[in-house]
Amino acid sequence: MKKLSIPPGLIGPVLITAVVVAAHISFGILDGWEKFAAALSAAVVAELLLHRMVTGKWRNLSSAYISGNSAGILVRSPMIWPFALCAAISIASKYVFRYKGTHLWNPTNFGIVVMLLIASDSMAVLSIQWGSNMWAMLAIWVVGLLVISKVKLFHVCAVYIVSFVGFAWLRSVLTDSVFITEVAPLTGPMYQLFVLFMITDPKTTLSTKNGRMAVAFLIAFAEFFFRMGEAVYAPFYALFIVGPIALIWEKWSKDRQAALSTPAVPGNA
């Protein structure tokens, strides 16, 4: 009997679909199906048009599907346009902000942070926990981490989670707060999306295992300072800063190493 396997290109879409369905059934997490549809539609249309304009080809829509779902879950607004705009900005960032052939930010992370900067009076970001629905939360974490392990990125999630818990303990000591309160955000749907999709995005993570682990720790480290400053959306700000710096540093280091290892060509006599 053959083992049931998911094609690599469908792992992300299948996993985020599971998160959306479980979160909405258990907690009614969506702000409205019409808003969710606006985010998903904007992401798909932006991906189709921009990729066609830039490359002349049609693109697989897995990335747009993930970004659209993420925006549909994370954005909170009484209006529809912030959902669509966040999704469109997320996709556009892949084609506008590039360095040596790759985009620098996880699309959804970029879209969320930009929207918080330009439209914070019109939108917010999901920041609730699962409450009493612990079984739904645990099921998604278990399935999600198993799937992530299949694509060999479990170490990224593990380092971030352990680092987050460690820094949560440190915050509780420094601020005389309750440790469980500091850890609680990790149980919410927002963090599931952040850990399972943003910091493990193959296109915006480093090429080496040690590098990815170091970046996961640095994201948690930067988040610690944002949280000490009572920044509500600390993980998004931390990834927004640490992620692209790490990518640029890695590519610069590789280019420098290649230049140093290339023998000089002697000039003509």
> Euclidean distance between the first and final Cα of the chain, in Å?
71
**Tens digit of pLDDT at every position of the chain (269 positions):** 455 566 666 667 777 777 777 777 766 777 788 999 999 999 999 999 999 998 888 888 888 998 999 899 899 999 999 999 999 999 999 999 998 888 899 999 999 999 999 999 999 998 765 555 666 667 677 777 777 777 788 899 999 999 999 999 999 999 999 999 999 888 877 888 898 888 998 889 999 999 999 999 999 999 999 999 999 899 999 999 999 999 999 999 988 888 787 765 555 54
Cβ distance 107 to 90 under 8 Å? yes
Q: Is the dihedral of CA 118, 124, 127, 130 positive or negative?
A: negative
Check residue 1 and give its pLDDT.
42
Say what the pLDDT of residue 256 is.
Answer: 85
Return the pLDDT at 269: 46
Q: Is 152 exposed, middle or buried (0-12, 13-18, 19+ CB in 10 A)?
A: exposed
Token pair listed for 229:
């400053």
Measured CA to CA, the distance from residue 112 to residue 37 in angstroms comes to 17
Residues in the chain: 269
Residue 114's H or E segment, with its range, is helix 107-118
Whole-number pLDDT of residue 170: 97
